[in-house]
């Protein structure tokens, strides 16, 4: 274990992953050395069998790293070993960060969850809902219906706005979103992206179905409208710089940092029929609040510890504890009558809060904790926060094709290592 202790010490020195709850070491499940060895063996085998180039896993409990290990290399083309300063594409792990910034504006009274989106983006008032109708000849056409109620800020944060990502093979509205090329938005602004979205119909009536999509990108644009700043300028000023998330950005601007970028296996760069793993060395005008950020394990560790602490880190408050508690509670439970679409990514045992999936029941055959909240990214990264055990975990990897399988296996092994 001496090598692992050295790695943990190096991580603390390098990225400052030190929490503020060390004094609150209340009763919580503890990890066994044997269980953590199985976690390491699993990841090491993924690298050895060529499924991933490398990865990083951090588990931090009571404000201190209890497990940290680098595996493999950043990029098989360079062979540079994985290390704590490696930069990863976070993709949808950007969403919790954008949601936190929006809730900062809510606390300041500049934004309300009940606000109609049209208050900040007037074109939303005229949006319609696309409904498929079958004619007498059997052909299906799209009819446009008026909104039953306005799209709200809460709808954006819990993905009930009716704004999909748009996948080929879906319904007619999804095809319209796919054909609109919204992911080809690298040279556009958030304002231009939103203008494209408001020219399309919504896929569902607001507040009726959880439908994963561009809602958090629209939320990022609203932050810009309220602040009068670009999303990145606001993020750096209010959250990233104060938290010490020094490598979090929308692309890697400094060529000196390019060797630090993690890459997937050469054959593992396809995320969907519409998108491949993007080159984060290229300047990007689109500051996507939903999927655009990059960063290191240390960056996300400081963000995660702040959440676990109830909104504070190292003496500075970012959100109130009750705000974090609201974000980490289920906002689409049975009482809301919100339905779940066929691609309900949180899974059967989870609801969805304001930016996170939230564990609402125990998965069969496990003792996983209720109240755990989490999210992941299409590039393979995932994180979870477990308030019951005063714990968070972050797994950093770049593998679009293997992410679901690996995440389930790792979460199972991690909780088994805690006796859950």
Structure tokens at 90: 């976070």
Average pLDDT, the chain: 92
Predicted confidence at residue 22, as pLDDT, reads 41
Instruction: Give me 240's structure tokens.
Output: 């990233």
Q: Which pairs from 309-315 meet CB under 8 Å and 24+ separation?
A: 309/19, 309/20, 309/21, 309/63, 312/20, 313/19, 313/20, 313/243, 314/18, 314/20, 315/20
Residue 249 structure tokens: 């950005």
Residue with tokens 């490398």: 54
Q: What is the structure's pLDDT at 144?
A: 97
Structure tokens at 95: 């969403």
pLDDT bracket for residue 13 (50, 70, 90)? very low
In which band, very low, low, confident or very high, does the pLDDT at 274 lie, cut at 50, 70 and 90?
low
Domain 110-227, CATH class in plain words: mainly alpha
What number is the average pLDDT over the span 22-47?
85
pLDDT at 5: 45
Question: What average pLDDT does the segment 315-321 reach?
Answer: 98
Predicted confidence (pLDDT) per residue in 69-108, tens digit: 999 999 999 999 999 999 999 999 999 999 999 999 999 9
CATH number of 2-100+235-417: 3.40.710.10
Say yes or no to pLDDT of 382 above 90.
Answer: yes
pLDDT for 164-210, tens place per residue? 998 766 789 999 999 998 877 567 899 999 999 999 999 999 999 99
Domain spans in the chain, listed from the N-terminal domain onward: 2-100+235-417, 110-227
pLDDT at 137: 85
CA distances to 55, 102, 154, 416 from 355, in Å? 25, 10, 10, 27
Can you say how many angstroms the Cα of residue 396 is from the centroid of all Cα atoms in its chain? 12
pLDDT at 11 over 60: no
In the numeric block, the tokens 């601007």 are attached to: 253
Please say whether the beta carbons of 130 and 201 come within 8 A: yes
Residue 20 has pLDDT above 50, yes or no: no
Whether the per-residue pLDDT at 362 is higher than 80: the answer is: yes
Measured CA to CA, the distance from residue 336 to residue 341 in angstroms comes to 15
- Which stretch of 18-32, 159-173, 351-365 has the lowest confidence by average pLDDT? 18-32
Higher pLDDT, 138 or 133: 133
Q: pLDDT at residue 392 above 80?
A: yes
Q: What is the mean pLDDT of residues 252-261?
A: 98
Residue closest to 340 by CA, chosen among 208, 207, 155, 210: 210
Q: How far apart are the first and last CA of the chain?
A: 23
- Identify the helix (H) or strand (E) that includes residue 153: helix 153-158
| Rounded mean pLDDT, 129-148 | 92
Q: What is the pLDDT of residue 15?
A: 47
User: Who's near 112: CB < 8 A, 6+ residues apart?
Assistant: 106, 153
Give the pLDDT band (50/70/90) at residue 17: very low
Of 6-10, 293-297, 347-351, minimum mean pLDDT range: 6-10
């Amino acid at each position: 274990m001496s090598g692992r202790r050295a790695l943990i010490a190096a991580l603390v020195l390098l990225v400052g992953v030190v929490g503020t709850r060390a004094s609150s070491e209340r009763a919580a499940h503890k990890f066994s050395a044997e269980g953590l060895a199985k976690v390491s063996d699993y990841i090491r085998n993924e690298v050895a069998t060529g499924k991933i180039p490398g990865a990083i896993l951090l588990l931090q409990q009571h404000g201190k790293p209890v497990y940290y290990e680098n595996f493999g290399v950043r990029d098989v083309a360079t062979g540079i070993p994985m290390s704590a300063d490696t930069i990863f594409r976070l993709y949808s792990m950007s969403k919790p960060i954008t949601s936190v910034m929006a809730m900062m504006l809510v606390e300041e009274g500049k934004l309300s969850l009940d606000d109609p989106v049209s208050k900040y983006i007037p074109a939303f008032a005229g949006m319609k809902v696309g409904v498929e109708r079958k004619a007498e000849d059997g052909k299906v056409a799209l009819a446009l219906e008026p909104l039953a109620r306005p799209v709200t800020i809460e709808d954006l944060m819990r993905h009930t706005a009716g704004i999909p990502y748009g996948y080929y093979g879906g319904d007619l509205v999804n095809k319209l979103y796919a054909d609109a090329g919204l992911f080809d938005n690298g040279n556009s602004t958030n304002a231009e992206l939103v203008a494209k979205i408001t020219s399309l119909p919504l896929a569902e009536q607001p507040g009726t179905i959880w439908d994963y999509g561009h809602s958090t990108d629209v939320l990022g644009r609203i932050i810009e409208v309220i602040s009068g700043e670009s999303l990145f300028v606001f993020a750096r000023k209010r959250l990233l710089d104060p938290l010490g998330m020094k490598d979090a950005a929308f692309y890697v601007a400094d060529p000196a940092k390019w060797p630090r970028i993690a890459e997937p296996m050469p054959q593992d760069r396809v995320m969907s029929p519409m998108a491949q793993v993007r080159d984060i060395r290229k300047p990007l005008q689109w500051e996507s609040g939903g999927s655009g950020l990059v960063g290191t394990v240390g960056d996300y560790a400081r963000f995660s510890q702040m959440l676990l602490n109830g909104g504070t880190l190292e003496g500075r408050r970012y959100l109130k504890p009750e705000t974090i508690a609201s974000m980490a509670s289920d906002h689409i439970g049975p009482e809301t009558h919100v339905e779940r679409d066929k691609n309900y990514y949180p899974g059967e045992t989870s609801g969805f809060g304001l930016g996170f999936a939230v564990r609402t029941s125990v998965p069969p055959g496990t003792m996983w904790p209720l109240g755990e909240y989490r999210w992941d990214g299409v590039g393979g990264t995932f994180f979870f926060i477990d308030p019951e055990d005063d714990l968070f975990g972050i797994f950093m990897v770049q593998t679009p094709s293997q992410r679901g399988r690996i995440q389930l296996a790792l979460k199972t092994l991690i909780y088994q290592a805690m006796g859950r």
